[in-house]
Structure 1
Amino acid sequence: MVSVSTFSFVSIPVVFYGFTQVLFNNLNELARCTALYLVLMEK
């Protein structure tokens, strides 16, 4: 039981960190596509 609680205590920050990394990567991709779209629309 102790090992399970320790595993959950450790896995929560790891999952949260991975989720934030994926979210920031998606935001970077979205910003890049938006900038490219605006540049193409200006031409």
Structure 2
Amino acid sequence: LNVFTESYMYMDQSAFQYDYETLRTTGVILAVVIVKKIKNKKWQ
């Protein structure tokens, strides 16, 4: 069980590192869209 948990955590960590740039880019785009929507609602 311990070996399985460690290998699973290592797999998950490497997958996260591999996908980090995509996640960061998506997060930035979402943040910009949300901010624009909030500003549009305030001005209307």
Pair in the same fold by TM > 0.5: yes
- The reply on whether 1:16 has 2:21 as its aligned counterpart is no
State the alpha-carbon separation in 2 of the partners of residues 13 and 6 from structure 1. 13
Structure 1 segments unaligned to the other structure (5+ residues): 33-43
What is the aligned length?
Answer: 31
Residue 16 of structure 1, CA deviation: 0.3
Residue 5 of structure 1, CA deviation: 2.2
CA RMSD of aligned residues (A): 1.0
Residue correspondence of structure 1 range 1-43 to structure 2 within 5 A? 1=14, 3-32=15-44
Give % identity. 3
**TM-score, structure 1 as length reference:** 0.62
Structure 2 segments unaligned to the other structure (5+ residues): 1-13
